[in-house]
């Protein structure tokens, strides 16, 4: 009788072990096969920053044998649409969501839903209030704003009035860059800073805003463009209205248009980020975090100041002309 009971107990134990192993294995396979989703601020093909970042993500996906779906809104000012998109994509139960938040505060509830659904959340380029993601992959934008000011001092000395042309006011990226510029400029009591102009990610709006600015303030000596489209819009206005190149422009990011403005002397310098690295590291980190590995909460991908004088060095050429799939 005891032998029979023991045999039954062993059989039950074996069934439990096999069932558990099958469950864990199937879950592991399911998790391995689930794709990652990258939600950039915009899918606008004319913004080279995001094209290069997506290329970095694609390269990492191939290297780590996974799939990355890039899904976003046409404009980085479409905050409501990005919120709807995030909440829709949660239902797909991806392995991880890599999010470039268009708004520092308003995306927080949606981000919390990602976490509550058991999906790994990584933020890239622009973070969220409270630092809720497993890791934040980005430029140190406050430090980059400070670099922009230090660079401007090479071209403008003494008392001066400055303007800032930026993008989406509530983006964490914008907030940090603007604070970096303002805090560093305000260390000089002879400096005056005008109210920041926000283009909402529209080059045309940045162009029109800068033209109006120049018409109202003839004493401006320097302008800071805080991202690619803001810089290009401001440079277009300066090309038309400042033929003697008296007003100095320091921008951000790199594109063929910005390079042309550098060569023409309209743009004195641009603070270039490393979007390929951002995309690559975001995917790599998302895979590691979703597999249960410990990851750094913050990864600074760095930035470099590019001028007409140093743009032809081999290292800077790699930053200005990264490989981008058409």
pLDDT level of residue 322 (50, 70, 90 thresholds): confident
Distance CA 164, CA 197 (A): 6
Beta-strand relationship, 304-307 and 269-272: antiparallel
> Is 314's pLDDT higher than 90?
no
Task: Tell me the torsion sign for CA atoms 115, 36, 278, 79.
Answer: negative
What pLDDT sits at residue 272? 96
Of 19-23, 134-138, 196-200, the range with the lowest mean pLDDT is 19-23
Nearest CA-CA partner of 248 in 270, 280, 272: 270
Query: For 236-264, what is the mean pLDDT?
Result: 96
Residues of the chain with pLDDT > 90: what percent? 84
Q: Can you tell me the distance from the alpha carbon of 78 to that of 4, in angstroms, rounded to the nearest whole number?
A: 69
* Least confident stretch, 24-33, 140-149, 195-204, 227-236: 24-33
Q: Average pLDDT for residues 106-129, to the nearest whole number?
A: 97
Chain-centroid distance of CA 210 in Å reads 24
Per residue in 172-214, pLDDT (tens digit) is 999 999 999 999 999 999 999 999 999 999 999 999 999 999 9
pTM (2 d.p.): 0.84
Q: Which residues contact 176 (CB under 8 A, 6 or more apart)?
A: 140, 141, 142, 144, 145
Chain-wide mean pLDDT for the chain? 91
Question: pLDDT by residue (tens digit) across 51-79?
Answer: 999 999 999 999 999 999 999 999 999 99
Asked whether the beta carbons of 278 and 38 are under 8 A apart, the reply is no
Domains of the chain (ranges; CATH) run: 34-139+275-302 (3.40.50.2300), 141-272 (3.40.50.2300)
Asked if 200 and 229 count as a contact pair (C-beta separation under 8 A), the reply is: no
Q: Residue 320 has what pLDDT?
A: 82
So what's the pLDDT on residue 316?
A: 87
More confident residue, 261 or 323: 261
Q: What is the 3-state secondary structure (H, E, C) of 188-257?
A: CCCEEECCCEECCCCHHHHHHHHHHHHHHCCCEEEEEECCHHHHHHHHHHHHHHCCCCCCEEEEECCCHH
Closest CA to 234 of 146, 162, 149: 162
């Amino acid at each position: 009788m005891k032998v029979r009971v023991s045999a039954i107990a062993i059989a039950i134990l074996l069934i439990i072990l096999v069932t558990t192993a099958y469950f864990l294995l199937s879950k592991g396979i399911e998790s391995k096969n689930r794709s990652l989703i990258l939600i950039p601020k915009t899918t606008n093909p004319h913004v080279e920053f995001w094209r290069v970042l997506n290329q970095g993500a694609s390269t990492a996906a191939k290297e780590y044998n996974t799939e990355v779906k890039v899904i976003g809104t046409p404009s980085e000012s479409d905050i409501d649409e990005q919120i709807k998109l995030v909440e829709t994509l949660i239902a797909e139960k991806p392995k991880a969501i890599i999010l470039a938040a268009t708004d520092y505060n308003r995306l927080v509830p949606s981000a919390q839903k990602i976490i509550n659904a058991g999906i790994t959340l990584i933020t890239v380029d622009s973070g969220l209030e409270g630092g809720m993601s497993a890791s934040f992959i980005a430029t140190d934008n406050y430090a980059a704003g400070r670099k922009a000011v230090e660079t401007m001092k090479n071209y403008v000395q003494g008392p001066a009035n400055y303007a800032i042309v930026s993008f989406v006011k509530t983006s964490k990226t914008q907030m940090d860059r603007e604070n970096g510029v303002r805090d560093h400029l305000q260390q000089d009591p002879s400096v005056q800073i005008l109210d920041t102009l926000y283009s909402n990610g529209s080059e045309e709006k940045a162009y029109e805003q800068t033209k109006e600015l120049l018409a109202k303030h003839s004493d401006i000596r320097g302008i800071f463009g805080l991202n690619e489209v803001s810089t290009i819009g401001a440079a277009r206005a300066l090309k038309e209205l400042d033929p003697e190149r008296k007003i100095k422009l320091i921008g951000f990011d790199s594109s063929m248009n910005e390079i042309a403005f550098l060569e023409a002397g309209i743009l004195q310098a641009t603070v270039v980020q490393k979007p390929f690295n951002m995309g690559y590291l975001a995917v790599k980190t998302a895979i590691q975090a979703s597999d249960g590995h410990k990851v750094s909460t913050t990864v600074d991908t760095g930035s470099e100041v590019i001028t007409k004088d140093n743009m032809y060095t081999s290292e800077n050429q790699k930053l200005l002309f990264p490989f981008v799939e058409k």
